[in-house]
Amino acid sequence: MKKVNDILTHLKYSPEFKKINTNNTIEKLIDALPLKLKKGVKFAYIKRQTLFFVLTHPVFKMEFEYNKSLIKSLLKPANIANVDDVQFFVTNKIEKKEEVKKEEKPSFNERSYGLFENFAKDEKTFKIFEEIRQLIKKA
C-alpha cells in the first residue's frame, strides 16, 4: 500500500498540474524579491515565454525596470522554464476594498427613560416618536 505522501508527490508532478506548479513557482519567485519590490506586485503570469509582473503603481514600474537584471538572475534558481524576457506593467483597474461596517454604539449614556407623552396628531409622526421611545428604552 502506498503512502499518501507518495501519491501526492506523484500527482504534483503529473503534466495535468503543470500550471499549478508554475503558479507556485512564480509565487516563490515573488517572495524571493526584496521587500521594496515585493509589495508593489499585484500578481505575475507567464505568456509566450515572457514573465509579466502586474504592478500596483507606476513608481514600482520604475523600480522594477531598474532591478530587471536582479529579477532575471532569480529566474534560474527558481527553475522557471521557457522564460526569455521579463515585462512589467501597471494595471489600470482600481480595486474596490470592502469596507467593514462596525456597529457604532453611542459614546454617551442615555439620560432619558423614554417617559414622555406623544402629542403628535399625524399618524406617521406618531409612529416615529414611538420608535424613538423604543430605542431609548433599549439603550
Question: pLDDT for 11-21, tens place per residue?
Answer: 777 777 777 77
What class has domain 4-90? alpha beta
126 or 77: which leads in pLDDT: 126
Delimit the domains of the chain by residue range.
Answer: 4-90, 109-139
Q: By C-alpha distance, which of 133, 114, 136 is closest to 125?
A: 133
Kindly list the strands in the beta sheet with 41-47, ordered across the sheet, starting from the edge strand earlier in the chain.
41-47, 50-55, 85-90
66 φψ region: left (φ > 0), alpha (ψ -120 to 50), beta (else)? alpha
Task: Report the C-alpha gap between 15 and 32 in whole angstroms.
Answer: 26
- Average pLDDT of the residues in 93-120: 73
pLDDT at position 96 over 80: no
pLDDT at position 1 over 70: no
Q: By C-alpha distance, which of 62, 56, 51 is closest to 90?
A: 56
Q: Where residue 125 falls among pLDDT bands split at 50, 70, 90?
A: very high
Taking the chain, what is the end-to-end CA distance rounded to the nearest angstrom?
A: 65
Question: Tell me, what's the pLDDT at 18?
Answer: 73
Task: Report the C-alpha gap between 46 and 23 in whole angstroms.
Answer: 9
Lowest mean pLDDT among 41-55, 77-91, 115-129: 77-91
